[in-house]
A and B are shown apart, each in its own frame.
Chain A
Amino acid sequence: MAQKVAVLGAGLTKFMRRAKETGKELSFEAARMALEEANMDISEIDCVVMATAPDMFDGVHMKGDWLSDGAGAKRKPYMRSYVGGGSGVFAIIHGWYLVASGLFDTCLVVAEEKMSSTMPHPQGAFNAIYDQFLERPLGVNLLWIFSLEMMRYMHVHKIPLETIALVSVKNKKNGLDHPCTQKGIAGNYTVKDVLNSEVIAYPVHRLMVSPVTDAAAAIVITSEHEAKRRTDKPIWIEGVGWCLDTSYWTNRDLYYPKYVEYAARMAYEMAGIKDPRKEIHVVEPYDPFAYKELHHLEGLLLADKGEAPKLLEKGFWDRDTKDGIPSCPSGGLLGVGNPIAAAGLMKVIEIYLQLKGEAGKRQVRREVKRGLAQAWGDLMQVGTVVILSK
């Protein structure tokens, strides 16, 4: 049966637009930091896992192979898993099963993204994720379909745009305290500021969208006996879940992310969680767009359908809440930046730091024993969930 798996160290590079470092160098930086924190040498790593989103960004075919030496994988077992935007959180799931299976004792999990190489803008590359015949000729990009999804979500639950803007206000404020935050992303904004920002694809406003970012993140995970040998306070991976819905996104009702619910249920079952609203103490749902955080909180069963916006208005998801569940205490993608795969792993690292009590100014006020990170991707199609505990 599965051996227990622990997180021993984490590394995160500064988030920025137009990093001078190559993707390999970013991977190296994050990997080095994670190994340092775990007090390990690369020679003690049995296998390396890489997460990185579309090869189109870098214009490099077999991007996983290309990044491998930067991630320290030379002459090592190495795999790249890939579920679009969900890849960052999937990376720890990937590492988890390689270690939990007993095949390996130690695994270095690296997530890298260098989006700014795509000129003039990565949204152009995203046209290539659509169906070649039916959708691509329309010239669609992600902003367009997410404006459709946002509209549907707002319509079904009658959510005012002002409430969605509150997510940006919360996360961009939280992001001020994150040492890796991308320049110009975090800030003390008001709902008015958000609604006065440029409309990109109605109802999506500029301040409701995460930016283009370059960065890398890494964690070291080990089996139980390695963890116990190396640290007194390991953080455990208690549950993982992932789920992929049909390719035909036009045939689904977009108001609710069922695939996130299924992924969450898988993770809750594995972690033995019966009542997630009581047993999850801090959460990092994926927030590339403001409405997605609320959408995902409902998919994660942390709020009833349509209730997440109301709880937001009451401060239930705030970082300093006493009886709520702090959501995106890191600042999330809206407050720190969105280097796609690295952003997912950044969320996992935030939960890891919160559980260790080492999140500094971002440390949530309530006591935390268990936290959840989630990412999402593809054609509004995949959910990836991990639950960590002390």
Chain B
Amino acid sequence: MNVYIIGIGLSAPKKISPEVSFREMIYEAAEKAYLDAGIEPKDVDTFVSVSEDYEEGTAIFDEYVPDQLGAVLKPVHTICADGITGLASVFAQIKTGHFKIGVIEAHSKLSNIKHHFHVHAMALDPVYVRPLEVNPYFVAGLEMGMFLDSRGYDELDTAQVVAKNKANALLFGRSPFGSFISPEEVLLSQPVSDPLRELDIAPNADGACVIVVATEEIAKERRGDLIKIAGIGFAEFTPNIERWEGDADYLRVAAQKAYSMAGIRNPLNDVDFAEIDDTFSYKELQHLEAIGLARFGESADLMREGFYDLSGQLPVNTTGGNIGNGNLSLMNGLRAVYDAVLQLRGDAGNVQLENPETALIASWKGLPSSSGGVLILRREG
């Protein structure tokens, strides 16, 4: 049985959102997604929300999602993971044959958090790591250093990612974080934890995203364009940061599953564009290598040659990625799915690619986790 994306809705990323609550943002995204799919919330058989209690400031957060989704007295549950892993949960439910229409929701209200790194710090092992009182960006800095050293890359290589993604975001025109900036200028930004600099970090943003997926039968009834979930995978590496190897193994394992499901043998040939997690600039290069869109130690050269540019052979983060759209926490993956669907439908405006058919989206749960998901979307007809 095939599963299709039939509706997408977004409450667009912004730096702060004092005028709306998280519920109102979710409502906006849900209303748009249901309208896009041509359904009413009562038609939905199952709902999944991705969230983590500490980021919400509320324990057992699924308590606060049903009303604004139109999901009262319906099957609803939380998945504590990135948006793509959450989407895998809805996908699996529909594949059982017991559900026809499923909804996945993710949101970010990071502007409510005064010091986000204090929340990150609570995810470090309470016995071995937390007593060291390291700022979690220090963990990212260490991993970045390990990654650059193992490949022989330097900071100018990761600065290229920032320059590309901010330029794409400015062209696309939806986000407050777009700009034309040269890699050299990126290196002038404040050091946070050497070699990590301020502009290497995706700035926090608020937003909400809702995606509606359905069986083939429903998809054919409701929509002219058919966007199929051709493959999906998710995986965990290890929460012990001292065991990290700088290779993003979680995405390697997740990609294997997604490729085998989608029948993709050579992703470099078979994928038309990709949306890759770039919460930190080095993560884009690291993730590209983990999922086989570059060989070990070759992603920086390809980046420099323009391979991943909008006009390149394999455009990556066409709407600006997380650096260009903001870090939306667990919603990052779904924002990327939303943008990939725009590309596949031909609705991506200034950054529209020419007739793309296959998209790859890779998401990371964020600092300091080592889990993520990979999704392959294919346009049919």
Residues of chain A at the chain B interface (Cβ within 8 Å): 1-2, 22, 48, 53-56, 58-69, 73-84, 90, 94, 97-98, 100-103, 125-126, 128-129, 131-132, 241-248, 258-259, 262-263, 266, 270, 377-379, 381-382
Contacts and interface: CB of A to CB of B under 8 A. Distances in A.
B217 interface: no
Given A69-B239, A244-B62, A61 B71 contact: no
Contacts of B59: 54-56, 125-126, 128-129
A235 to B, nearest CB: 19
- Interface of chain B: mostly helix, strand, loop or mixed: mixed
Contacts of B96: 1-2, 97, 100-101
Contact of A2 (B88, B97, B235, B239): B97
7 contacts: A54-B53, A60-B123, A82-B78, A242-B77, A246-B73, A248-B67, A263-B75
A378 B73 contact: no
Q: Which of B1, B78, B96, B237 has the most CB of A within 10 A?
A: B96
Given A54-B53, A82-B80, 7 more contacts: A1-B97, A61-B54, A81-B78, A128-B59, A129-B60, A245-B73, A258-B73
Contact of B60 (A54, A74, A78, A263): A54
B249 to A, nearest CB: 6
B15 to A, nearest CB: 22
Interface string B66-92: 110001111111111100010011011
Contacts of B88: 79, 103
B126 A68 contact: no
B63 A59 contact: no
A270 B233 CA distance: 27
A248 B67 CA distance: 9
B236 A246 contact: no
Interface string B37-67: 0000000000000001111011111111111
Interface string B228-261: 0000011111111000000001100110010000
A54 B254 CA distance: 27
Given A62-B80, A75-B253, A82-B79, A262 B73 contact: yes
B287 interface: no
Contacts of B123: 60-62, 65-66
B117 to A, nearest CB: 11
A192 to B, nearest CB: 36
Contacts of A94: 77, 89
B239 A66 contact: yes
Given A84-B60, A244-B66, A55 B52 contact: yes
Q: Which of B54, B77, B122, B238 has the most CB of A within 10 A?
A: B77
B260 to A, nearest CB: 11
Contact of A242 (B65, B75, B233): B75
B53 A55 contact: yes
B62 A82 contact: yes
A75 to B, nearest CB: 5
Interface stretch (B155-163, B311-319, B365-373): B365-373
Sort chain B's interface into a size bin.
Answer: 35 or more
Contact of A75 (B93, B98, B235): B235
Contacts of B80: 62-64, 80-82
A260 B125 CA distance: 37
A78 B71 CA distance: 26
Contacts of B1: 1
A83 to B, nearest CB: 5
A79 B235 CA distance: 8
A62 B52 contact: yes
Nearest to A266: B75
B379 interface: no
B16 interface: no
Given A81-B78, A101-B92, A245-B73, A62 B365 contact: yes
A143 B249 CA distance: 44
B174 interface: no
A74 B237 CA distance: 5
A62 B80 CA distance: 7
Contact of B98 (A62, A246, A270, A382): A270
Nearest to B45: A266
A27 to B, nearest CB: 12
A66 B77 CA distance: 20
B233 A79 contact: no
A60 B92 contact: no
